[in-house]
A and B are shown apart, each in its own frame.
Chain A
Amino acid sequence: MSFHVVKREACPLWKKACFYLLAVLAALTLGGLLLLAMGVNPLAYYSRMFTMGMVGNKIAYKAFENYLKVFVPLALTSVALSLAFKMRFWNIGGEGQFIMGAIAAATVALKLGSSLPNAVTLILMCLAAMLAAGLYGVFVAALKVKFGTNETLMTLMLNYVALYILAFLGDRKADWNFFLQAESVRPVFQSFADVAAFPKIMLGKFGLNLCVLLTFAVGAVIFVYLKYTKQGYEISVVGDSAGTAHYAGMKVNTIVLRTVFLSACLIGLAAAFKVGTAGVLSTAITDDVGWTGIIVAWLSQLNTAVIFVVSALISMLHYGSVAAAASFSRVDSSFANMLQGVILFLVLTADFFIRFRIVRTQKGGKDNGNG
């Protein structure tokens, strides 16, 4: 008896939901067994995880604010990546573009923050971050267009270049290095929270950061952009078949450059939001959104609206598992990471079963020869 894989034509929504639900349940069961082995009650752990430690928390509003701080950069980065992915441009460089954006935003804040009104600083930070990240991304697109280089490798490598630039800035105390605190003997990033911070809209004790609203606004714009505009249409055609786009008279190279620039710009904006909320750089500034965003974009099948839902869920998993680990002495963040990994892996497996199905190979036919 043997099996083979067959592509599934269409999968009804309820079936998809079932597959995903099953995947999550399987992952939770697996995690639960591990938790039991560690002597931790899985139900207690999971209830904390799914409520992100907010039940019985005297400052739950803070937890939700922190959750949104995880959500905003992830959602925006995923939306940005989906733009490039839709065009089949595999921008794996979200991390690097994010870092470049963050450095640019921090430069503006540190250099101009004290002399300009907060609002102006913030706008300039966003623009600078978008420009820096955009150029960092479009550089790869230009190489691809001009020399046919592989964008996956290029963007991947440039992630490390950016990371090491940031690490260098964070490590090298020197007169020119305005990123570091002058008064500290050890290298510590200079804070600019007092001169450049996104305002919060206070709803009782809960402060709704302006970035959250802006992120949703950008998401809505991109949704419309991809679905209804000419440029969005061009992206779909180029992604589907570059030959056809060329044949239809589209300037394929221009479209590639423009879209990658826009994609990287939005990642820069995500970085500006992050930096403008944190008020300081750090070598861990990306929080891996450039990587996680790829998963989010994939799981969402590049649908902008779905990206927001998936980002919300993944952020919840991310934030919730850490919050839960805090109250269980035997469970550390590595376990939380592993659980996230297992859930994502199984959800991707479910994704596989939604796209394909496994069929048993039958043996033996009826003996009704034609001779």
Chain B
Amino acid sequence: MPEQYAIEMRGITKTFGSVVANNNINLNLRQGEILALLGENGSGKTTLMNMLSGIYAPDAGQILVDGQPVTISSPEDSKRLGIGMVHQHFKLVDVFSAADNIWMGREKPGFALKRQRYDEIEQMSKKFGFDIDPKKKVRNMAVSEKQTLEIIKVLYYGAKVIILDEPTAVLTVQEIEKLFSVLRRMKEAGHSIIIITHKLNEVMDISDRVAILRKGEYITTVNTAETNEQELTEWMVGRKIDLNIDRPVVEKTRPLLEIRDLTIKNDEGATAIDKVSFYIRGGEILGVAGIAGCGQKELCEAIAGLRPVQSGLMIHKGDNIVGLPPKAILEKGISMSFIPEDRLGMGLAPSLSITDNMILKNYADARGLFVDRKSGRADALRVIEELEVVTPSTETPVRRLSGGNVQKVLLGREIKAGPNVIVTAYPVRGLDINSSYAIYDILNQQKKDGVGILFVGEDLDVMLALCDKIMVLCHGRVMGVVHAHKTSKEELGLMMTGALDLTDKHEDKPAGIARDTNITAEHLESAREEEN
């Protein structure tokens, strides 16, 4: 008798337009195991799982739950079959308490909210060793708490199979450890777990088996104990790859950009960046680490002149640039390539051609009424050639390009302008390994040319390898600036959660003040008085 799987997916195919997201995928999940679903971004992991959770219906293929063929046409079907998914983007109501967020999806009869719901949920979370206050409102929760809540919610509805979509992306090292111990406990309790990730060390750490997808194709499933990171990478990428990131040693210049006591508010009016001071030298990459929403976005926007500054100074080559319009800051040589969540929102106009995106920042310099597309086209050709952008032509809308090529176009344009400071946020988000390395090379090349780079990143391994120094932010405050070759992930993780504050340590001079400023002490005094 063949083995009875918790989930079996046979020949699953799903297409979006002409894009085949999943092609004839076979996957099975044993009872009580942790299966890692490994693949690069865009390899179809989330799509495949969304078909289990009822968000998409497969174009072709069959799904079996406990050996029985089933049709999952809605999230309710999925819930009924005991499948629960924790999505990357949490699906919680901010103004509700933890208990109510769980409560509202239930199908039990009864109209009124009962007090006992708090007890019921507290008991549940105790059972699995969760630490959560059922009465706490979601909006007051940290990211890790929200994730815990999502997991409890799934368990509450009796899920036997739990799918977690990149659960570690938003967590610190310590929180990841905590999550993994919860997962192990759940496994012991008989749950079957699928964890989507593209981080190899986590795969090795937590999973029993690994299923690998590449570009929508199923590659293989192996026992974790019988493989290693190098082998997994080769399956994932399709060929051998060097996993080392270069960190060239470059002669550093004096600080190009110096931030002093900078305070910025976010869109809601709360303080996003609180009296932050740091500087960037030419020829170095300063990493900015922090949990999502700790003020990185606001900091980048303020430097680019897109967000008003409450107080503090931003000194570029001796001049205070606070209050200058974005265009003036641009002309001073500070370039920002901000890659927001949807990658195309800011920095590029998605429906416009590469040529048109090339001229975005300097179109106004052309003489007369008309835009100068001739030089834009020449720039586009140069960027396409130098950065090996894959595109049918210079007139292709950038939204038709793949993620890596979009990023190259964006960075290419920024570099072409010959900036002396580059502010770049999440430049490799969503990129495959090859594209990511291409982007690192571009940044390193700039560094060699004496450009100062502010690199807002999310993958600590990458930052440790690429950056010269790393500044850690926690709730808008600097927790310290450390040398990348002297620190560790654990140390960074502690700083990100605010558990470790290194600002008093002298060796890294986090609040060091540059000496080439022509802003005098009196200037500073008067600026401070104005504030008060």
Contact = CB atoms under 8 A, between A and B. Distances in A.
Interface residues of A, number: 36
B371 A230 contact: yes
A243 B360 contact: no
Nearest to A359: B59
Between A9, A248, A367, the greatest number of chain B beta carbons within 10 A of the residue's beta carbon is seen for A248
A369 B58 CA distance: 17
B101 interface: no
A236 B221 CA distance: 48
B18 A9 contact: yes
Interface in B8-58: 8, 10-13, 15-18, 24, 26-28, 57-58
B179 interface: no
Contact of B352 (A7, A236, A247, A362): A236
A6 B14 CA distance: 11
B346 A247 contact: yes
A26 B347 CA distance: 45
B363 interface: yes
Interface string B357-390: 0011101101001110000000000000000000
A364 B61 contact: yes
Interface string A148-179: 00000000000000000000000000000000
A363 B8 CA distance: 15
Contacts, number: 122
B528 interface: no
B2 interface: yes
Interface string B71-104: 0000000000000000000000000000000000
A233 interface: yes
Contacts of B330: 249
Given A9-B17, A241-B349, A370-B218, 19 more contacts: A4-B57, A6-B15, A7-B17, A228-B370, A230-B363, A231-B369, A233-B359, A233-B363, A237-B349, A241-B345, A244-B345, A244-B348, A244-B349, A245-B349, A246-B306, A248-B361, A365-B60, A368-B10, A369-B8
A277 to B, nearest CB: 31
The 4 closest A-B CB pairs, nearest first, are A365-B11, A249-B327, A365-B61, A362-B60
Nearest to B340: A243
Which applies to chain A's interface (DSSP): helix, strand, loop or mixed?
mixed
B366 A230 contact: yes
B59 A240 contact: no
Nearest to A237: B349
B356 interface: yes
A215 B338 CA distance: 43
Between A2, A230, A245, A359, the greatest number of chain B beta carbons within 10 A of the residue's beta carbon is seen for A230
B231 interface: no
A236 B349 contact: yes
B336 A366 contact: no
A234 B366 CA distance: 13
B170 interface: no
A29 interface: no
B370 A371 contact: no
Nearest to B16: A6
B10 A249 contact: no
Contact of B10 (A4, A8, A232, A369): A369
Interface in B450-485: none
Contacts of B326: 246-249
Nearest to B304: A247
A365 B16 contact: no
Given A6-B16, A367-B10, A237 B364 contact: no
A229 interface: yes
B310 interface: no
Q: How large is the interface on B (under 10, 10 to 19, 20 to 34, 35 or more residues)?
A: 35 or more
Contacts of A7: 16-17
A359 B17 CA distance: 10
A230 B366 CA distance: 9
Contacts of B351: 236, 240
Contacts of B364: 230, 249
B26 A368 contact: yes
Contacts of B346: 241, 243-244, 246-247
Nearest to B12: A365
A104 B60 CA distance: 63
Contacts of A365: 10-13, 24, 60-62
Contacts of B10: 365-369
B28 A370 contact: yes
Contacts of B28: 369-371
B12 A229 contact: no
Interface string B323-361: 001110010000010101000111111111000100111
A235 B173 CA distance: 46
A362 B62 CA distance: 10
B3 interface: yes
A362 B351 CA distance: 33
A362 B57 CA distance: 10
A248 B349 CA distance: 10
Contacts of B369: 229-231
A361 interface: yes
B118 interface: no
B5 interface: yes
Contact of A248 (B58, B62, B360): B360
Contacts of A233: 356, 359, 363, 371
Contacts of B360: 237, 244, 248
Nearest to B3: A371
A247 B304 CA distance: 8
